[in-house]
Structure 1
Protein backbone atom coordinates (compact mmCIF):
# COMPACT_ATOMS: atom_id res chain seq x y z
CA UNK A 1 0.00 0.00 0.00
CA UNK A 2 1.28 3.40 -0.86
CA UNK A 3 0.01 6.89 -0.40
CA UNK A 4 -0.22 9.99 -2.53
CA UNK A 5 -0.29 13.71 -1.88
CA UNK A 6 -2.75 15.64 -4.04
CA UNK A 7 -1.84 19.34 -4.31
CA UNK A 8 -5.02 20.93 -5.63
CA UNK A 9 -4.92 24.15 -7.70
CA UNK A 10 -2.05 25.84 -5.86
CA UNK A 11 -1.55 28.38 -8.65
CA UNK A 12 -0.86 32.09 -8.98
CA UNK A 13 -4.45 32.79 -10.02
CA UNK A 14 -5.78 31.21 -6.82
CA UNK A 15 -3.03 32.31 -4.42
CA UNK A 16 -1.10 35.40 -5.52
CA UNK A 17 -2.31 38.82 -4.40
CA UNK A 18 -2.96 39.79 -8.03
CA UNK A 19 -4.42 36.39 -8.98
CA UNK A 20 -7.56 36.37 -11.13
CA UNK A 21 -9.56 34.45 -8.48
CA UNK A 22 -7.38 34.66 -5.40
CA UNK A 23 -8.00 33.30 -1.93
CA UNK A 24 -5.32 35.80 -0.89
CA UNK A 25 -3.50 35.86 2.42
CA UNK A 26 -4.95 32.59 3.82
CA UNK A 27 -3.75 30.75 0.69
CA UNK A 28 -0.38 32.50 0.79
CA UNK A 29 0.08 31.63 4.46
CA UNK A 30 0.02 27.88 3.75
CA UNK A 31 2.83 28.04 1.16
CA UNK A 32 5.60 26.81 3.49
CA UNK A 33 3.50 23.81 4.55
CA UNK A 34 2.47 22.98 0.96
CA UNK A 35 6.11 23.03 -0.13
CA UNK A 36 7.27 21.01 2.90
CA UNK A 37 4.63 18.33 2.34
CA UNK A 38 5.53 18.02 -1.35
CA UNK A 39 9.15 17.36 -0.46
CA UNK A 40 8.28 15.14 2.51
CA UNK A 41 6.12 12.82 0.38
CA UNK A 42 8.65 12.66 -2.43
CA UNK A 43 11.54 11.96 -0.02
CA UNK A 44 9.51 9.17 1.60
CA UNK A 45 9.05 7.51 -1.81
CA UNK A 46 5.37 8.37 -2.05
CA UNK A 47 3.57 9.96 -4.99
CA UNK A 48 2.83 13.65 -5.50
CA UNK A 49 0.05 14.59 -7.92
CA UNK A 50 -0.71 18.17 -8.93
CA UNK A 51 -4.21 18.25 -10.45
CA UNK A 52 -4.61 21.80 -11.71
CA UNK A 53 -7.55 23.76 -13.09
CA UNK A 54 -7.24 24.61 -16.76
CA UNK A 55 -9.76 26.81 -18.54
CA UNK A 56 -10.51 28.48 -21.85
CA UNK A 57 -11.82 32.03 -21.40
CA UNK A 58 -15.47 32.41 -22.37
CA UNK A 59 -16.06 28.68 -22.93
CA UNK A 60 -19.84 28.58 -23.40
CA UNK A 61 -19.99 24.89 -22.41
CA UNK A 62 -18.19 25.17 -19.10
CA UNK A 63 -20.39 25.95 -16.08
CA UNK A 64 -17.68 28.00 -14.34
CA UNK A 65 -17.72 30.56 -17.17
CA UNK A 66 -20.89 32.05 -15.69
CA UNK A 67 -19.67 31.83 -12.09
CA UNK A 68 -16.10 33.15 -12.09
CA UNK A 69 -13.79 35.46 -14.02
CA UNK A 70 -11.32 33.77 -16.39
CA UNK A 71 -8.65 31.97 -14.36
CA UNK A 72 -5.99 29.27 -14.74
CA UNK A 73 -5.87 29.79 -18.48
CA UNK A 74 -3.38 27.47 -20.16
CA UNK A 75 -0.10 29.16 -21.02
CA UNK A 76 -0.55 32.11 -18.67
CA UNK A 77 1.48 32.93 -15.56
CA UNK A 78 -1.74 32.62 -13.56
CA UNK A 79 -1.72 28.87 -14.11
CA UNK A 80 1.87 28.48 -12.87
CA UNK A 81 2.25 27.08 -9.37
CA UNK A 82 2.54 29.67 -6.67
CA UNK A 83 5.94 30.66 -5.31
CA UNK A 84 8.41 27.93 -4.39
CA UNK A 85 6.03 25.18 -5.53
CA UNK A 86 6.77 26.16 -9.15
CA UNK A 87 10.51 25.83 -8.49
CA UNK A 88 9.97 22.49 -6.71
CA UNK A 89 7.85 21.20 -9.59
CA UNK A 90 10.36 22.27 -12.24
CA UNK A 91 13.13 20.46 -10.32
CA UNK A 92 11.09 17.27 -9.92
CA UNK A 93 8.84 17.01 -12.96
CA UNK A 94 10.99 14.28 -14.50
CA UNK A 95 10.52 12.08 -11.44
CA UNK A 96 8.06 9.22 -12.06
CA UNK A 97 6.55 9.88 -8.61
CA UNK A 98 5.57 13.48 -9.49
CA UNK A 99 2.74 14.01 -11.92
CA UNK A 100 0.94 17.21 -12.91
CA UNK A 101 -2.19 17.14 -15.03
CA UNK A 102 -5.02 19.46 -16.04
CA UNK A 103 -8.51 19.16 -14.65
CA UNK A 104 -11.59 20.89 -15.97
CA UNK A 105 -14.05 20.46 -13.10
CA UNK A 106 -13.88 21.01 -9.35
CA UNK A 107 -13.01 17.38 -8.58
CA UNK A 108 -9.57 16.10 -9.53
CA UNK A 109 -11.25 12.80 -10.44
CA UNK A 110 -13.89 14.19 -12.85
CA UNK A 111 -12.83 13.52 -16.43
CA UNK A 112 -9.23 12.69 -15.51
CA UNK A 113 -7.28 9.41 -15.23
CA UNK A 114 -6.47 10.07 -11.54
CA UNK A 115 -8.36 7.07 -10.15
CA UNK A 116 -6.70 4.74 -12.67
CA UNK A 117 -3.24 6.15 -11.93
CA UNK A 118 -3.71 5.79 -8.17
CA UNK A 119 -4.90 2.19 -8.49
CA UNK A 120 -2.05 1.28 -10.88
CA UNK A 121 0.38 2.50 -8.24
CA UNK A 122 -1.35 0.69 -5.39
CA UNK A 123 -2.36 3.94 -3.69
CA UNK A 124 -5.13 3.50 -1.12
CA UNK A 125 -4.46 6.57 1.02
CA UNK A 126 -4.77 10.10 -0.39
CA UNK A 127 -3.60 13.19 1.45
CA UNK A 128 -5.23 16.33 0.08
CA UNK A 129 -3.96 19.91 0.29
CA UNK A 130 -4.37 23.14 -1.66
CA UNK A 131 -7.20 25.49 -2.58
CA UNK A 132 -10.03 26.09 -2.27
CA UNK A 133 -10.98 24.01 0.74
CA UNK A 134 -14.73 24.26 0.21
CA UNK A 135 -14.68 23.90 -3.58
CA UNK A 136 -12.04 21.84 -5.42
CA UNK A 137 -10.51 20.26 -2.31
CA UNK A 138 -13.99 19.30 -1.06
CA UNK A 139 -15.21 17.91 -4.38
CA UNK A 140 -12.00 15.90 -4.78
CA UNK A 141 -12.42 14.49 -1.26
CA UNK A 142 -16.05 13.54 -1.93
CA UNK A 143 -15.03 11.62 -5.05
CA UNK A 144 -12.14 9.98 -3.16
CA UNK A 145 -14.65 8.90 -0.51
CA UNK A 146 -17.01 7.49 -3.17
CA UNK A 147 -14.07 5.58 -4.67
CA UNK A 148 -13.15 4.10 -1.25
CA UNK A 149 -9.85 5.88 -0.68
CA UNK A 150 -8.67 6.62 2.84
CA UNK A 151 -8.59 10.42 3.08
CA UNK A 152 -6.35 12.72 5.09
CA UNK A 153 -6.78 16.49 4.95
CA UNK A 154 -3.90 18.63 6.19
CA UNK A 155 -5.71 21.54 7.86
CA UNK A 156 -2.57 23.67 7.83
CA UNK A 157 -2.20 23.24 4.06
CA UNK A 158 -5.69 24.12 2.77
CA UNK A 159 -7.29 27.54 2.34
CA UNK A 160 -10.63 28.96 1.21
CA UNK A 161 -11.99 32.30 0.02
CA UNK A 162 -13.61 32.92 3.41
CA UNK A 163 -13.52 31.56 6.99
CA UNK A 164 -17.08 30.21 6.78
CA UNK A 165 -16.23 28.03 3.79
CA UNK A 166 -13.09 26.78 5.52
CA UNK A 167 -14.97 25.87 8.71
CA UNK A 168 -17.78 24.14 6.80
CA UNK A 169 -15.43 22.07 4.64
CA UNK A 170 -13.21 20.94 7.53
CA UNK A 171 -16.27 19.77 9.48
CA UNK A 172 -17.67 18.04 6.37
CA UNK A 173 -14.43 16.15 5.75
CA UNK A 174 -14.44 14.81 9.27
CA UNK A 175 -18.13 14.32 10.04
CA UNK A 176 -19.53 13.30 6.66
CA UNK A 177 -16.60 11.73 4.79
CA UNK A 178 -14.86 10.20 7.80
CA UNK A 179 -11.60 11.80 6.73
CA UNK A 180 -8.72 12.28 9.09
CA UNK A 181 -8.09 15.99 9.55
CA UNK A 182 -4.58 16.69 10.84
Structure 2
Protein backbone atom coordinates (compact mmCIF):
# COMPACT_ATOMS: atom_id res chain seq x y z
CA UNK A 1 0.00 0.00 0.00
CA UNK A 2 1.19 3.52 -0.77
CA UNK A 3 1.77 4.84 2.75
CA UNK A 4 0.83 8.41 1.77
CA UNK A 5 -2.35 7.79 -0.19
CA UNK A 6 -3.62 4.45 1.11
CA UNK A 7 -3.63 3.05 -2.42
CA UNK A 8 -3.28 -0.71 -2.49
CA UNK A 9 -3.68 -1.63 -6.14
CA UNK A 10 -0.72 -3.51 -7.58
CA UNK A 11 1.03 -3.32 -10.91
CA UNK A 12 3.35 -5.94 -12.34
CA UNK A 13 6.51 -4.28 -13.67
CA UNK A 14 8.60 -6.22 -16.20
CA UNK A 15 12.09 -4.70 -16.34
CA UNK A 16 14.33 -4.97 -19.43
CA UNK A 17 13.05 -8.35 -20.58
CA UNK A 18 12.47 -7.20 -24.16
CA UNK A 19 16.09 -7.76 -25.02
CA UNK A 20 18.34 -8.79 -27.88
CA UNK A 21 21.03 -10.00 -25.45
CA UNK A 22 23.63 -8.34 -27.63
CA UNK A 23 25.49 -6.58 -24.84
CA UNK A 24 28.33 -6.97 -22.37
CA UNK A 25 27.64 -9.72 -19.80
CA UNK A 26 24.85 -11.22 -21.94
CA UNK A 27 26.42 -14.68 -21.84
CA UNK A 28 26.42 -14.52 -18.03
CA UNK A 29 22.82 -13.26 -17.94
CA UNK A 30 21.26 -15.66 -20.45
CA UNK A 31 21.13 -18.77 -18.20
CA UNK A 32 19.36 -16.83 -15.46
CA UNK A 33 16.98 -15.22 -17.96
CA UNK A 34 16.12 -18.66 -19.36
CA UNK A 35 15.35 -19.83 -15.84
CA UNK A 36 12.89 -17.06 -15.04
CA UNK A 37 10.95 -16.82 -18.32
CA UNK A 38 8.46 -19.66 -17.52
CA UNK A 39 7.84 -18.25 -14.03
CA UNK A 40 7.49 -14.72 -15.37
CA UNK A 41 5.14 -15.83 -18.16
CA UNK A 42 2.85 -17.48 -15.59
CA UNK A 43 2.98 -14.39 -13.37
CA UNK A 44 2.10 -12.14 -16.33
CA UNK A 45 -0.84 -14.41 -17.20
CA UNK A 46 -2.11 -14.28 -13.61
CA UNK A 47 -1.80 -10.48 -13.51
CA UNK A 48 -3.67 -10.15 -16.81
CA UNK A 49 -6.35 -12.52 -15.57
CA UNK A 50 -6.89 -10.34 -12.49
CA UNK A 51 -6.90 -7.08 -14.51
CA UNK A 52 -3.68 -5.97 -12.83
CA UNK A 53 -1.72 -3.58 -15.05
CA UNK A 54 1.33 -5.16 -16.67
CA UNK A 55 3.90 -2.46 -17.37
CA UNK A 56 7.02 -3.18 -19.38
CA UNK A 57 9.83 -0.76 -18.58
CA UNK A 58 12.66 -1.29 -20.98
CA UNK A 59 15.95 0.05 -22.19
CA UNK A 60 15.72 1.36 -25.71
CA UNK A 61 18.92 -0.33 -27.00
CA UNK A 62 20.32 3.19 -27.54
CA UNK A 63 17.94 3.73 -30.47
CA UNK A 64 16.24 6.97 -29.50
CA UNK A 65 14.03 6.94 -32.57
CA UNK A 66 12.58 3.52 -31.68
CA UNK A 67 9.14 2.84 -30.27
CA UNK A 68 8.11 -0.13 -28.17
CA UNK A 69 6.69 -2.10 -31.09
CA UNK A 70 9.97 -1.84 -32.92
CA UNK A 71 11.88 -2.99 -29.84
CA UNK A 72 9.62 -6.03 -29.48
CA UNK A 73 9.97 -6.92 -33.16
CA UNK A 74 13.77 -6.45 -33.04
CA UNK A 75 14.01 -8.77 -30.03
CA UNK A 76 11.67 -11.33 -31.61
CA UNK A 77 13.72 -11.40 -34.80
CA UNK A 78 16.94 -12.06 -32.88
CA UNK A 79 18.57 -15.31 -31.78
CA UNK A 80 16.83 -15.27 -28.37
CA UNK A 81 13.23 -14.89 -29.50
CA UNK A 82 12.37 -17.91 -27.35
CA UNK A 83 12.93 -15.69 -24.30
CA UNK A 84 10.64 -12.95 -25.62
CA UNK A 85 7.68 -14.81 -27.08
CA UNK A 86 6.33 -16.27 -23.78
CA UNK A 87 6.37 -12.84 -22.12
CA UNK A 88 5.48 -10.73 -25.13
CA UNK A 89 3.42 -7.59 -24.38
CA UNK A 90 -0.21 -7.88 -25.40
CA UNK A 91 -2.49 -5.05 -26.55
CA UNK A 92 -3.43 -4.16 -22.96
CA UNK A 93 0.18 -3.97 -21.75
CA UNK A 94 1.69 -0.60 -21.00
CA UNK A 95 5.23 0.30 -22.06
CA UNK A 96 7.67 2.85 -20.68
CA UNK A 97 11.09 3.49 -22.18
CA UNK A 98 14.04 4.15 -19.89
CA UNK A 99 17.61 5.18 -20.47
CA UNK A 100 19.27 4.41 -17.15
CA UNK A 101 19.13 1.74 -14.46
CA UNK A 102 16.07 2.85 -12.49
CA UNK A 103 12.63 2.46 -14.02
CA UNK A 104 11.76 5.84 -12.48
CA UNK A 105 14.75 7.92 -13.58
CA UNK A 106 13.43 10.56 -15.98
CA UNK A 107 10.51 8.39 -17.10
CA UNK A 108 6.76 9.04 -16.73
CA UNK A 109 6.33 5.91 -14.58
CA UNK A 110 5.57 7.74 -11.31
CA UNK A 111 2.79 9.68 -12.99
CA UNK A 112 1.46 6.56 -14.70
CA UNK A 113 1.31 4.66 -11.40
CA UNK A 114 -0.46 7.60 -9.77
CA UNK A 115 -3.02 7.73 -12.60
CA UNK A 116 -3.61 3.99 -12.28
CA UNK A 117 -3.97 4.37 -8.48
CA UNK A 118 -1.16 1.87 -7.92
CA UNK A 119 0.40 1.73 -4.47
CA UNK A 120 2.20 -1.60 -4.79
CA UNK A 121 4.72 -2.60 -7.44
CA UNK A 122 5.79 -6.17 -8.14
CA UNK A 123 9.23 -5.86 -9.72
CA UNK A 124 10.37 -8.60 -12.09
CA UNK A 125 12.94 -8.94 -14.85
CA UNK A 126 16.60 -8.21 -15.06
CA UNK A 127 19.15 -7.51 -13.65
CA UNK A 128 18.54 -8.18 -9.93
CA UNK A 129 21.75 -6.53 -8.73
CA UNK A 130 21.40 -3.56 -11.05
CA UNK A 131 18.11 -2.30 -12.51
CA UNK A 132 15.84 -4.19 -10.11
CA UNK A 133 17.81 -2.99 -7.07
CA UNK A 134 17.88 0.67 -8.15
CA UNK A 135 14.22 0.56 -9.12
CA UNK A 136 13.26 -0.92 -5.75
CA UNK A 137 15.06 1.92 -3.99
CA UNK A 138 13.32 4.51 -6.13
CA UNK A 139 9.94 2.84 -5.51
CA UNK A 140 10.65 2.81 -1.77
CA UNK A 141 11.46 6.52 -1.65
CA UNK A 142 8.19 7.15 -3.50
CA UNK A 143 6.37 5.36 -0.66
CA UNK A 144 5.28 2.44 -2.80
CA UNK A 145 5.00 -1.07 -1.43
CA UNK A 146 7.54 -3.28 -3.19
CA UNK A 147 7.44 -7.02 -3.78
CA UNK A 148 10.20 -8.94 -5.52
CA UNK A 149 9.44 -12.49 -6.64
CA UNK A 150 12.93 -13.94 -6.31
CA UNK A 151 12.25 -16.59 -8.95
CA UNK A 152 11.15 -13.96 -11.50
CA UNK A 153 14.30 -11.84 -11.46
CA UNK A 154 17.50 -12.72 -13.33
CA UNK A 155 21.04 -11.88 -12.35
CA UNK A 156 24.50 -11.78 -13.84
CA UNK A 157 26.29 -12.57 -10.58
CA UNK A 158 24.37 -14.80 -8.16
CA UNK A 159 26.27 -13.64 -5.08
CA UNK A 160 25.51 -9.99 -5.86
CA UNK A 161 21.87 -10.85 -6.53
CA UNK A 162 21.60 -12.49 -3.10
CA UNK A 163 23.08 -9.39 -1.48
CA UNK A 164 20.75 -7.14 -3.50
CA UNK A 165 17.67 -9.12 -2.42
CA UNK A 166 18.79 -8.88 1.21
CA UNK A 167 19.34 -5.13 0.86
CA UNK A 168 15.91 -4.64 -0.70
CA UNK A 169 14.30 -6.56 2.13
CA UNK A 170 16.27 -4.98 5.00
CA UNK A 171 16.76 -1.42 3.79
CA UNK A 172 13.70 -0.86 1.64
CA UNK A 173 11.08 -3.02 3.32
CA UNK A 174 10.55 -5.05 0.15
CA UNK A 175 8.75 -8.36 0.42
CA UNK A 176 10.93 -11.08 -1.09
CA UNK A 177 8.71 -13.99 -2.06
CA UNK A 178 8.26 -16.75 -4.62
CA UNK A 179 6.11 -15.86 -7.61
CA UNK A 180 3.47 -18.39 -6.59
CA UNK A 181 2.97 -16.46 -3.31
CA UNK A 182 1.70 -13.39 -5.16
CA UNK A 183 -2.09 -13.26 -5.10
CA UNK A 184 -3.30 -10.88 -7.80
CA UNK A 185 -6.81 -12.33 -7.42
CA UNK A 186 -7.02 -10.90 -3.88
CA UNK A 187 -6.38 -7.40 -5.19
CA UNK A 188 -9.05 -7.92 -7.85
CA UNK A 189 -11.53 -8.93 -5.12
CA UNK A 190 -10.69 -5.75 -3.14
CA UNK A 191 -11.41 -3.56 -6.20
CA UNK A 192 -14.92 -5.00 -6.62
TM range (shorter): 0.7 to 0.9
Would the aligned equivalents of 1:12 and 1:79 in 2 still touch at CA under 8 Å?
A: no
Secondary structure at 1:49's aligned position in 2?
strand
Counterpart of 1:2 (choices 5, 9, 15) is: 9
Deviation at 1:87, TM superposition (A): 5.4
Would the aligned equivalents of 1:35 and 1:84 in 2 still touch at CA under 8 Å?
A: no
Deviation at 1:89, TM superposition (A): 3.0
Structure 1 51/29 Cα, relative in aligned 2: closer, same or farther at 3 Å?
A: same
Unpaired runs of 5+ residues, structure 1, are 60-72
Moved over 2 A (4+): 11-14, 73-90
Would the aligned equivalents of 2:19 and 2:84 in 1 still touch at CA under 8 Å?
A: no
CA distance in structure 2 between the aligned counterparts of 1:111 and 1:152, rounded to whole angstroms: 22
Q: Which residue of 2 aligns with 1:38?
A: 44
Q: Which residue of 2 aligns with 1:163?
A: 158
Q: Which residue of 2 aligns with 1:77?
A: 75
Deviations 1:134-166 (A, max 9, x none): 101111111000000000000000111111111
Matches within 5 A, 1:1-182: 1-14=8-21, 19-21=22-24, 22=26, 23-56=29-62, 76-77=74-75, 83=82, 85-86=84-85, 88-90=87-89, 92-93=90-91, 95=92, 98-182=93-177
Question: Which of 1 and 2 has higher RCO (CA within 8 Å, sep 6+)?
Answer: 2
Aligned length: 160
Unpaired runs of 5+ residues, structure 2, are 1-7, 65-69, 178-192
Structure 1 87/26 Cα, relative in aligned 2: closer, same or farther at 3 Å?
A: closer
Would the aligned equivalents of 1:131 and 1:159 in 2 still touch at CA under 8 Å?
A: yes
CA distance in structure 1 between the aligned counterparts of 2:77 and 2:59, rounded to whole angstroms: 8
CA distance in structure 2 between the aligned counterparts of 1:150 and 1:7, rounded to whole angstroms: 16
| Structure number with higher helix proportion | 2
Would the aligned equivalents of 2:33 and 2:154 in 1 still touch at CA under 8 Å?
A: yes
Q: TM-score, normalised by structure 1?
A: 0.79
Secondary structure at 2:101's aligned position in 1?
coil
Q: Which residue of 2 aligns with 1:64?
A: none
Would the aligned equivalents of 2:37 and 2:86 in 1 still touch at CA under 8 Å?
A: no
